[in-house]
Structure 1
Amino acid sequence: MLQNVLNTTKNKNLESQYITKPTTVCDELEVYLTRVFEKELATPNSVLLAYNPFVIKKIAGYLSGKIKMPASIGIAGETASGKSTITKDLIDTIESFATEFGIEDAITRVNTDDYYYDRSDMVKAAGSFSEFAKNYDLDIPEALELELMSKHIKELLAGKSTYLPKYDMSGTAIRHDNYTLAKPSKVIISEGLFTLTDKVKDAFNFKIYVDIPEELKRERFFIRANERGLGDSAEHIYANANSKAEVHIRPCKEHADIILSGAADRILYKNFLNKIIGIVQELYF
């Protein structure tokens, strides 16, 4: 288990444990990244909760140019965990850096929610989306065509352009297939409840899970529910999402290379990201 590995190594000198004498740029990056990650782990209210030491080698391989293929990043977590905000900040950071230094084809986003099956006929038959949702569970991975999502990501990783679907989130349950042309890029990123479940997780060479304390997750959910006017149904929706998360989402922690805190301050996230992005600037610009 990832957490057990980290509990035994968190307070040790990982540099001496996993890194030999630096002989290449990649080796030197491993040393530097290990220091950055370990320092972040030791910081109060850290953005980083745990990581698999092997992810340091992967990041160093990409940043040094030793690994030539595009990087695919999958970010998962429960509802209201903060995964969407973290993903947005990551995309914004990469896009800003790419714009500043004239890097083309920097990042492509594949939205997990766009792979919900089209159930518009069922919504019409039920009379409304709310009535449809009473008898159709959207909080399970089987509600999405994750095999298609995996196929699209692998096509992008292979350097092929592909057309992505677009799901209407306004309550029609319509999915428009072949809606958006996605082009290959240096980074492909996806975020969603089920992004690290079995049918799609192998499409990602970086797997990130966003964890959050139960009380804060509940507080965020009901603030959002109030904004959306869910009324008395909010409690039922939350209970269902929570029970399904126990089965389908929380076990995804075991697949994660990195576990992030959904409770951490966004400024701390940006600072952590900038330390890693700064390596690219120092090496290539």
Structure 2
Amino acid sequence: MAKKPLLIGITGGSGSGKTTVSKALITRLSANTPILLQQDVYYKDQSEKPMEERVKTNYDHPDSIETDRFVADLEKLMKYQAVDIPVYDYAQHTRSNETVHIEPADVIIVDGVLLFNDARVRNLLDLKVFVDTDDDIRFIRRLQRDTHERGRTVEGVIEQYLATVKPMHNQFVEPTKRYADIIVPEGGENFVAIDMLMNQAIAMVEKEEK
């Protein structure tokens, strides 16, 4: 049987601490030179739309993701083939002209709010992790991130949260918890759960290497 990379998927609501957990995994598995692939760079290109339409995009709906390309890139990486992934410009609400070249690795960590929605993605994942964090904490984190890093206003973030983020979370994110192999309560603050996750991931890596 041909060797294949270990593919770990991490999902949870916006601001749940997915990236914190992902980076902790990368640090713990550094000897295996893991790569991190984030689903949200696959938001669809909107360059042909006027800005007033772009700003209305519902980024929390599965249709906002170019899932076919995401799946195709994952399948290439699973065959130890390099990929060129897109770059998303959040200030302009569309995809950048740039791409990022990603070389294959023995351990691939993918994270995204909508990661478990598509069966094709779920079927590729060797370990599925759901980061489960209180709504209020997730909103505060999102508010801080979007105002500091993505050029959004406080009013705009609140409006978006109430109009799309919260209802889309209830419709498309929370129900996918049932697919998880491991649930991490309280995100990156739960060091006990993260340590258990690390141990499981290390055991799976060692099994693949045998």
Unaligned runs of 5+ in 2: none
Q: State how far apart, in whole Å, the 2-side matches of 1:159 and 1:263 are.
A: 31
Report the CA distance shift for 1:246/1:277 in structure 2 as closer, same or farther (over 3 A). Answer: closer
Structure 1 residues not aligned, in runs of 5+: 1-65
Residue in structure 1 matched with residue 130 of structure 2 by the alignment? 209
Q: Secondary structure at the match of 1:181?
A: strand
| Aligned: 1:182 with 2:84 | no
Deviations for 1:196-225, whole angstroms, at most 9, x for unmatched residues?
A: 111532221211111112232233334445
2:81 is paired with a residue whose SS is coil
Cα gap change, 1:221/1:167 in structure 2, threshold over 3 Å: closer, same or farther?
closer
- The partner residue of 1:88 within 23, 26, 34 is 23
Matched position secondary structure for 1:242 = helix
Q: 1:211 to 1:171 in 2, by over 3 A?
A: same
1:56 maps to none
Q: Distance in 1 between matches of 2:186 and 2:2?
A: 30
Q: 2:74 aligns with which of 153, 164, 183?
A: 153
RMSD over aligned Cα atoms: 2.8
How many percent of aligned residue pairs carry the same amino acid? 24
Kept in 2: contact 1:74–1:208 (CA 8 A):
yes
1:75 to 2, 7, 10: 10
What is the number of equivalent residue pairs in this alignment? 202
- Structure having the higher strand fraction is 2
Distance 1:110 1:119 in 2: 21
Normalising by structure 1, report the TM-score: 0.62
- The residue number in structure 2 matching 1:249 is 173
Mark the structure with the bigger radius of gyration.
1
- 1:171 Cα offset (Å): 2.4
Residues 67 and 206 (structure 1), Cα distance of their counterparts in 2 relative to 1, 3 Å cut? farther
Match of 1:254, as an amino acid? R
1:81 offset after TM fit, Å? 0.6
Post-superposition Cα deviations, 1:34-86, rounded to whole Å, max 9, x if no partner, equal xxxxxxxxxxxxxxxxxxxxxxxxxxxxxxxx994211111111111111111
Residues 233, 187 of structure 1: CA spacing in aligned structure 2 closer, same or farther, 3 A cutoff?
A: same
Q: 1:260 Cα shift?
A: 0.9
Instruction: Provide the C-alpha distance between the structure 2 equivalents of 1:151 and 1:278, rounded to a whole number of angstroms.
Output: 26
Residues 229/162 of structure 1: CA separation in 2 closer, same or farther (3 Å cut) = closer
